[in-house]
């Protein structure tokens, strides 16, 4: 099953069960300046989970564009993605545990035809804030999940939220798919990261509000918030053990392999992930820059370009690859096709800016590397990281990555210090200028 088919099945199924399909919110939250990006399907719904009336009703479903950058260092393995799509269904004080679990079970076993023996689940084991979730486990048993396939864990595994420091949250029940691989050890279970069990869906029973002082208060209403990652679920349904093998990525991966003179799977995956995230960000109005969302986009694009170079692909091929990528992604997001020229131009412009300084920056880095080697140090001075940032436009993680590839570390503390000083100086300079202009006007 292709990703688009899975998404359509999902939305139709929940529509049939009385849910209104609502549109995805943009990647940059519209009314929440406290966060840079939408990181979960529930984020745009926070006011409604807290009790406000949603115009579309109490049962909602959608697919939400999400971006998470906290795991950016892990991109390059078989599953981590910065941009991903999360499908979800919500009950805003309507159904609760029983109906939520039963619908998930029905969707997995009858719509997706997943054999029940492949399904394992986990529930919240209970603590001082919230009791053990016997109720969820009982519903699972009623559905036909044998007790030995139901596990209980604490907050680390079976609690979701709040999305920031405070807000709606609650115990969850997570659904895992057993890949059929051998257990990695006697105690191997769904909480183990060995890859035997893959998390496919998370049903959160949002009945608490975490306050700013860390207390859990009962919410006015009992909500359900579920999240099913589109790419990961597609991978599982296609029997792949690597998300980059699904049809969203595969043709671009093959193209990279064809053009590249130095096959490096990690670089391929970083490019596949970062380029897709960049396309989606530009579509949602973000432009490369030096602060906030713009700086994240700049970093994603510059890292992509660096990895192009690393695997020996001529950078002129970027344009064609972006073109093909937009065509593929256009099946899921038709708005991309409409904005193709605009998106390509933004990416090309940033590429042109960065390639001017990339080679010189790499030369500077190599000089610093030799210096560190000669003085028997295994750390690159933070001043070098700062100069590369300031003069050559190298985001610090690019320098850090270059260093790691040679077995070196970088002094990020010193970089951060210098960066802060620089910010303060520019702020003072700007204030000075402003004052000057003001007095001239007077």
Q: What is the contact surface with ligand SER in residues (CB under 6 A)?
A: 40-42, 88, 160, 202, 204, 225-227
- Sign, CA torsion 285/290/296/301: positive
Nearer to ligand SER, 42 or 108 (CB): 42
Q: Which tokens sit at 54?
A: 């949603």
Q: Give the shortest CB-229-to-ligand SER separation in angstroms.
A: 8
> What are the residue ranges of helices labelled H in 198-291?
230-237, 250-259, 265-283
Q: Give the shortest CB-42-to-ligand SER separation in angstroms.
A: 5
All residues at 6 or more sequence positions from 433 whose CB lies less than 8 Å from its CB, including other chains? none
Residue where the block lists tokens 């700007």: 430
Q: Give the shortest CB-77-to-ligand SER separation in angstroms.
A: 19
Strands 197-210 and 216-229: antiparallel
Nearer to ligand SER, 88 or 396 (CB): 88
Q: Give the shortest CB-90-to-ligand SER separation in angstroms.
A: 9
Q: Which tokens sit at 42?
A: 């529930």
Element (H, E) at 217: strand 216-229
- In the complex, which residue's CB is closest to ligand SER? 227
Nearer to ligand SER, 208 or 386 (CB): 208
> What are the residue ranges of helices labelled H in 44-184?
46-49, 97-106, 134-143, 155-158
Q: Give the shortest CB-40-to-ligand SER separation in angstroms.
A: 4
Residues written for the chain: 442
Q: Give the shortest CB-174-to-ligand SER separation in angstroms.
A: 9
DSSP SS3 for 377: coil
Rounded to an integer, what distance in angstroms lies between the CA atom of residue 224 and that of residue 83? 24
**Concatenated DSSP letters for 36-52?**
SS--STTGGGHHHHTTP
Nearer to ligand SER, 227 or 382 (CB): 227
Most distant CA pair in the chain, distance: 81
Q: Give the shortest CB-199-to-ligand SER separation in angstroms.
A: 9
Nearer to ligand SER, 204 or 313 (CB): 204
DSSP SS3 for 90: strand
Count CB-CB contacts under 10 A for residue 63. Answer: 23
Nearer to ligand SER, 91 or 226 (CB): 226
Q: Give the shortest CB-49-to-ligand SER separation in angstroms.
A: 10
Nearer to ligand SER, 96 or 259 (CB): 96
Nearer to ligand SER, 95 or 389 (CB): 95
- DSSP tag of 406: T
How far from each other are the two terminal CA atoms of the chain, in whole angstroms? 69
């Amino acid at each position: 099953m292709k990703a688009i088919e899975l998404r359509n099945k999902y939305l139709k199924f929940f529509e049939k069960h009385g849910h209104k399909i609502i549109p995805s919110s943009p990647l940059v939250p519209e009314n929440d300046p406290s966060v840079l990006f939408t990181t979960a399907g529930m984020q745009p719904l926070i006011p409604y989970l807290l009790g406000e009336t949603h115009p579309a009703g109490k049962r909602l479903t959608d697919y939400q564009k999400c971006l998470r950058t906290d795991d950016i260092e892990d991109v390059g393995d078989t599953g981590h993605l910065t941009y991903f799509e999360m499908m979800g269904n919500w009950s805003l004080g309507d159904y609760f545990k029983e109906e939520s679990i039963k619908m998930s079970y029905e969707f997995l076993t009858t719509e997706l035809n997943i054999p029940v023996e492949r399904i394992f689940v986990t529930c919240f084991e209970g603590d001082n804030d919230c009791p053990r979730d016997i109720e969820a486990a009982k519903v699972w048993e009623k559905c036909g999940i044998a007790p030995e396939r139901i596990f209980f864990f604490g907050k680390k595994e079976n609690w979701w939220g709040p999305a920031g420091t405070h807000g709606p949250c609650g115990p969850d029940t997570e659904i895992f798919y057993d890949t059929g691989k051998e257990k990695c050890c006697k105690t191997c279970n769904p909480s183990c990261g060995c890859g035997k069990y893959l998390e496919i869906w998370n049903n959160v029973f949002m009945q608490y509000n975490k306050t700013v002082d860390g207390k859990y208060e009962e919410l006015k209403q009992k909500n359900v918030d579920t999240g099913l990652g589109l790419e990961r679920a597609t991978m599982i349904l296609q029997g792949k053990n690597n998300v980059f093998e699904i049809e969203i990525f595969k043709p671009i991966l093959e193209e990279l392999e064809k053009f590249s003179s130095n096959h490096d799977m990690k670089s391929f995956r970083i490019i596949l992930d970062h380029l897709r995230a960049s396309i989606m960000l530009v579509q949602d109005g973000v432009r490369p820059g030096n602060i906030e969302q713009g700086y994240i986009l700049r970093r994603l694009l510059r890292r992509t370009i660096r990895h192009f170079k690393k695997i020996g692909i001529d950078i002129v091929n970027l344009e064609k690859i972006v073109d093909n990528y937009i065509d593929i992604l256009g099946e899921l997001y038709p708005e991309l096709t409409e904005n193709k020229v605009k998106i390509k131009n933004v990416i090309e412009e940033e590429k042109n800016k960065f390639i001017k300084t990339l080679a010189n920056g790499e030369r500077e880095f190599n000089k610093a590397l030799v210096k560190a080697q000669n003085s028997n140090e295994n750390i690159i001075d933070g001043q070098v990281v700062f100069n590369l940032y300031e003069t050559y436009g190298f985001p610090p993680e690019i320098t850090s990555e270059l260093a790691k590839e040679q077995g070196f570390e970088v002094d990020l503390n010193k970089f951060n210090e210098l960066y802060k000083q620089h910010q303060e100086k520019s702020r003072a300079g700007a204030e000075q200028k402003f004052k000057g202009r003001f007095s001239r006007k007077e």
